[in-house]
Structure 1
Amino acid sequence: MSGQVVFEARNVGLSYRQRAGVLRFNNFWALDDVSFILRAGETLGVIGANGAGKSTLLRLIAGIIDPDRGHLWRHPHKTASLLALNVGFKPELSGRENVVIGGLLLGLRLQQIKSLLDKIHEFSELGDFFERPVGTYSTGMRARLGFAVAIHADPDILLIDEVLGVGDQSFKIKSHEAMKQKIGSNKTVVLVSHSMEAIRELCDRVLWIHEGKSILCGPSDEVINAYLEVVRQAVKQANQIARDAVRPSLRPSQAALNQ
């Protein structure tokens, strides 16, 4: 892939301080050793189990947080915006008011946001709910609003955290189509999702993270197949352990056999 490098991480680690007892703390490494590059115009999928560090990685790329160790480089002239459910939403404010706040958080100027309000309203398909407090929205409705804002913000790098797996079927189809259009327009996208179908369909390359470490980064099919094989083996092992735990209770005791 020949696109310009817009982000690079080498052996990046990031820790959080957590309580370990009375007046005692230790560091939890949300990211322990992650290395990869992101090129302009590509769509990079990020996969891994819950707690692997995927969302933390998106926050690093967006510049919201900085690593505690390793080397990280962001292109100085590229903007990156994070789309995650409920980020920046104020439940007491209307959808329209939250669009303004969300747009500002994504780096848009106020005049730009005002010019996009009607398009965002239409895309979200929220109807009259657009004028109602976001606190009254379902999770799917919040997803519609958040995605509508981000897809119209048009940053250089669009960071998407799980949103494509949330909402009703029509929203999923619409969000996938919008993503395809972004990809077709040579937009740089990083997509975190548990949907292997979405990752396989939308992404050029995939980064697999496990317990804060990058395991593999490469062509989508290659990484997804390796990941699913590990998952299958883990499930198989867990099922075997469960069967072995049940079997002794099903065996007749020696005393019963001697009767």
Structure 2
Amino acid sequence: MCRHLAYTGPAEPLGRLLVEPPHGLYRQSWAPRRQRHGTVNADGFGVGWYAEGDPVPARYRRAGPIWADQSFADLARVVRTTALLGAVRDATLSGADAEAAAAPFAAGPWLFSHNGAVAGWPGALAPLAPGLPPGELLALEARNDSAFVWALVLNRLRGGREEPSALAETVAEVAAAAPASRLNLLLTNGVTLAATAWGDTLWYLSRPGGGTVVASEPYDDDPRWREVPDRTLLWADRTDVLLTPLKDAAPADSPEAPAHGRPATTPAPASAPAPAPAPAKEPRT
């Protein structure tokens, strides 16, 4: 059910984070090691990144599998960035939205991805639609659950919520309306990362020399990868990773909410990576 990854840190080529690692997002499109729902993520992909001096990210998205796109391989080799968000997609339901349904979704300085599925979509979230401005509903990029969840997050961001609070409140709202949903959300503004672990795997890596990676699963066997416990909110920048149980995450307008959206806690104890399964066969192009 999709895989995603975000990075903030020193400038790196896209390919060094997405393509070159032995179990990177590129390989996760056909051979994820820790994906609990679905097996092949070939229903589209996308990557968004930030150019120096420009707070608005660029995006490259396609409706087909990442391994079949030779243009992306060339792009990933030469484009460098200090922050990115990439995703490969396993569609919950078939649709006609093509690359518009592929993460990352974007608005202003933000990039967003959803790894999971909303149970009972679309009926389960119909009661939440009146809470969005009509213009935002009409402007949805795609008619899928992830695009709607992004609209809920974006509405909170535009209303003044900090990134972690916007994610935490959206997860609480959607989970209340559709309790069996899987809601691993990932958001970046080009400097910091915010994410939720809710029903699927989430890991992070603090890289030597600065830089933080947050991903659905480790892209290599570096022992410094740490797993995020389920039902946890993550906030990270280039040097710090802070974890908060979602039930303890304070709304942005509450007296307990920390400044700049940083969860008021320290990293939770993390487990060591599980042994890697046997490699899968390469896809046919």
State TM-score, norm by structure 2. 0.30
Q: Which has the higher helix share?
A: 1
User: Relative contact order, CA 8 A, sep 6+: which one is greater?
Assistant: 1
- Larger gyration radius, structure 1 or structure 2: 1
